[in-house]
Chain A
């Protein structure tokens, strides 16, 4: 089943084309590593996939629906540049709020489960602003996964994660992929991402420079895609 489809995507900011004629298709269960220099358009593309922004032209279909549809959004989990948690609320309250927004069937139980899973159960009543950075990141991960999404959009998720959080996230992503979820993640941390990835996309100044399967060669030499398809240094 095709989980992700983009067709002739263009995104303009005024006259500036941040994305130019981007198109791709991925089946369910794929893990797509989205690569590109800063300013290539990765965040722009991810925001369109997440339904935060609308493409100027072209079509995107996620899980066979429009990303803005509520039924599709309830199946998507996102981690953006900002962690998306409320500093004034406790870990428990944060997760409960999002569980209710996502209409999770048994919110209290889901919150308990994810506090355990991210090792935050001890500090469930603590305010998020009092947490260490690693704890905040784990709370963000819990928030993204609390509604058991089967489509994940992650914008540079490994950036500035501590090793415990990286391991947690990788484990969760592996489990999700194993259960048939689809993952799109942008990253500069090539090694961690390529370990998980089944496919690779390279964006170059808004255009798709490479789209293909992740090979063993890429895993051995993480910079391979940039070397062969990236812009000249």
Chain B
């Protein structure tokens, strides 16, 4: 039943993306200053928000694991972090492509890009830590602690970089700026694609969790086999 739900959600997410792509490519007008390329923005900002949501979820699950020692929190934490890392990578790559088009450079050390890269490295460290600890309980415990540290660090990094460099476009969403700096149709599409990405993230995390659970089952069977042999 659960698998059916996941498949269903996956198909729905795919269709949602198709619909969004249609609107993005064919219906929305070109942006005033940037021309056509701005459309990549819809695949740049939503992944970022979704990634942050994943990392926050992972940090909370990590805290819950430390409190209850229930494995499912650890499984969720690693799955959410991996999906978040993939989405953060999409954010970085689309940002680079956009930057290349807009400013002629592949990379610039501005606040947002820098903190996005640092965030990505911090969570890469989380995965490397997990890779390096073999015992499941110790792996879960130590990576849970790291996940909590990581989330605080990400917040700090974001704030500090904001003060340090600013070349990146400022906030455009009405909720941040309080007034109309963006075409309502574009803003609506932004939220639509955000919804699509969030749904995609849920599906991917669920699939990854299944994978993780199967992997643990295999590991424990292997351990049992060795114990008998």
Partner-B contacts on A (CB < 8 A): 12-16, 56, 205
| Interface residue from A15, A56, A205 paired with B223 (Cβ < 8 Å) | A15
Contact present for B69 and A56 (CB under 8 Å):
yes
Contact present for A15 and B220 (CB under 8 Å):
yes
Chain A-chain B contacts (Cβ-Cβ < 8 Å), number: 25
In the complex, chain A residues whose CB is within 8 Å of the CB of B217: 15
Considering only residues 171-229 of chain B, those with a C-beta below 8 Å from chain A are 216-217, 219-220, 223-224, 227
The 5 A-B residue pairs with the shortest CB-CB distance, nearest first, are A15-B220, A14-B136, A16-B223, A14-B220, A13-B135
Contact present for A12 and B137 (CB under 8 Å):
yes
Q: Which B residue's beta carbon lies closest to that of A14?
A: B136
Q: Which A residue's beta carbon lies closest to that of B221?
A: A15
In the complex, chain B residues whose CB is within 8 Å of the CB of A12: 137
Q: Is the interface of B mostly helix, strand, loop or mixed?
A: helix
Q: Which A residue's beta carbon lies closest to that of B69?
A: A56
Q: Is the interface of A mostly helix, strand, loop or mixed?
A: loop
Measured in the bound complex, the distance between the Cα atoms of B71 and A12 in whole Å is: 12
List 22 contacting pairs A-B, 8 Å CB cutoff, sorted by A: A12-B137, A13-B135, A13-B136, A13-B137, A14-B135, A14-B136, A14-B137, A14-B219, A14-B220, A14-B223, A15-B136, A15-B216, A15-B217, A15-B219, A15-B220, A15-B223, A15-B224, A16-B220, A16-B223, A16-B224, A16-B227, A205-B227
Measured in the bound complex, the distance between the Cα atoms of B137 and A131 in whole Å is: 38
Measured in the bound complex, the distance between the Cα atoms of B169 and A27 in whole Å is: 72
Measured in the bound complex, the distance between the Cα atoms of B227 and A205 in whole Å is: 9
In the complex, chain A residues whose CB is within 8 Å of the CB of B223: 14-16
Extra 15 A-B pairs, beta carbons < 8 Å, given A13-B135, A14-B223, A205-B227: A12-B137, A13-B137, A14-B135, A14-B136, A14-B216, A14-B219, A15-B136, A15-B216, A15-B217, A15-B219, A15-B223, A16-B220, A16-B223, A16-B224, A56-B69
Measured in the bound complex, the distance between the Cα atoms of B227 and A15 in whole Å is: 12
In the complex, chain B residues whose CB is within 8 Å of the CB of A16: 220, 223-224, 227
Distance between A48 CB and nearest chain B CB, rounded to angstroms: 13
Distance between A231 CB and nearest chain B CB, rounded to angstroms: 13
Measured in the bound complex, the distance between the Cα atoms of B224 and A14 in whole Å is: 11
Q: Which B residue's beta carbon lies closest to that of A205?
A: B227
Distance between A66 CB and nearest chain B CB, rounded to angstroms: 16
In the complex, chain B residues whose CB is within 8 Å of the CB of A13: 135-137
Measured in the bound complex, the distance between the Cα atoms of B219 and A16 in whole Å is: 10
Measured in the bound complex, the distance between the Cα atoms of B223 and A25 in whole Å is: 31
